[in-house]
Amino acid sequence: MDNITFKDIELSDSKWIRELFASKDYNSEDYNFTYQYLWRNTFKSKVARVGDLVLIQYNMEGRRSYLFPAGRAEDSQTADLLSSMLCQSSLLSDEGKLAFYGVLPSQLDFLERHFGGRFTAEQVRMGADYIYDAESLRTLKGKKYQAKRNFANGFRRNYNWKFEPITEENLEECLQMNDEWCRRNGCGENFWKANEFCAVRIALNNFKALGLDGGLLRVEGRVVAFTLGEKMNSDTLLVHIEKALTEYRGAYQAMSQEFLGYMEKTLRERENIPEDTPAFTLVNREDDSGDENLRKAKLEYHPIEIKEKYLISITKK
């Protein structure tokens, strides 16, 4: 196999990367073009197409690793690619190993079949995706959601509020709210918050090009919350961004509910989905980046799955 040539991830790569990712139908955030594009500067990411496989390289903090390749290739072709990479020293880590980040349990099975005894696996809790039942998250019905439901209903009772889809006309107001959120939450002192601030700006500035959907809440005309997402595979809505000003009690909970309801209606009309069929059954609200407060908040919404991911290191024979 010829040497693999990596390049920067650009908007022009969206079509072919989305098509190849879609062939596997993963509901992991990593296998989503928008996610990779928004965080490409943080992870120092580059991409290569190898036949019908997408290969993304990460170089965060000088440590080289890869997203496990995905696409239309047969397992034998994927195994051949990994074997070829192991023979190219320029693709290996400083320890001379081939490292993959965000590896899913099904991919561990593949590695066991093709590279058994030659790899180590370390679970990475901070990268695990939080997956929720869409109907439960949208309705907040039942005793276990009572606190969240009370917050959302309190917001609706206590404020003169309005929900709007995000459009070219109100994008600038969302950018301004993102600036305000960052000033209040110490983005300058926190690596992940600073990079999230940049990712939000990239998302808003490329809202149409990335094919995103979004919604915002106004109180007395002021934007106090917004969220961005997209349908990422056959059954899952991926929520990329969710921001609210916390002095508006219940804004986060109301924003989540309103956006999910909006997306159910919008996708049903856009994709001509029958009334008795849900537009999506799962919601992926991405990972917690190891932030304990964010982890607590995500757990309080009762995920039905915390998607396991692993850091894998493969050695030569």
Express each pLDDT in 49-104 by its tens digit: 999 999 999 998 888 999 999 999 999 999 999 999 999 999 998 889 999 999 99
pLDDT for 188: 81
Structure tokens at 265: 């209606």
Confidence of residue 1 (pLDDT cuts 50, 70, 90): low
Structure tokens at 203: 């998302």
Of 34-43, 53-62, 168-177, minimum mean pLDDT range:
53-62
Confidence of residue 185 (pLDDT cuts 50, 70, 90): confident
Top pLDDT among 146 and 189 is at: 146
pLDDT for 191: 87
First to last CA, the chain: 18
The rounded distance, in Å, linking the Cα atoms of 282 and 237 is 6
Q: Please give the model's pTM, rounded to 2 decimal places.
A: 0.95
Question: What are the start-end ranges of the E strands in 212-301?
Answer: 213-219, 222-231, 236-244, 282-284
The rounded distance, in Å, linking the Cα atoms of 211 and 195 is 21
pLDDT for 193: 87
Task: Indicate if the pLDDT at residue 285 is higher than 70.
Answer: yes
pLDDT for 134: 98
Task: Indicate if the pLDDT at residue 2 is higher than 80.
Answer: no
Q: What is the mean pLDDT of residues 272-288?
A: 95
How many other CB atoms are found less than 10 A from the CB of residue 18? 16
The rounded distance, in Å, linking the Cα atoms of 232 and 215 is 17
> What's the Rg (C-alpha) of the chain?
20
The rounded distance, in Å, linking the Cα atoms of 208 and 204 is 8
Q: For residue range 111-149, list pLDDT tens digits in order.
A: 999 999 999 999 999 999 999 999 999 999 999 999 999
Q: What is the mean pLDDT of residues 192-204?
A: 94
Distance of CA 107 to the CA centre of its chain: 19
Task: Indicate if the pLDDT at residue 107 is higher than 80.
Answer: yes
Q: What is the mean pLDDT of residues 220-228?
A: 98
264: phi then psi, degrees, rounded to nearest 5:
-60, -45
Question: Average pLDDT of the chain?
Answer: 95
- The answer to whether the beta carbons of residues 17 and 33 sit under 8 Å apart is yes
pLDDT for 61: 82
Task: Indicate if the pLDDT at residue 187 is higher than 90.
Answer: no
202 Cβ neighbours under 8 A, 6+ residues apart: 37, 38
- The answer to whether the beta carbons of residues 166 and 216 sit under 8 Å apart is yes
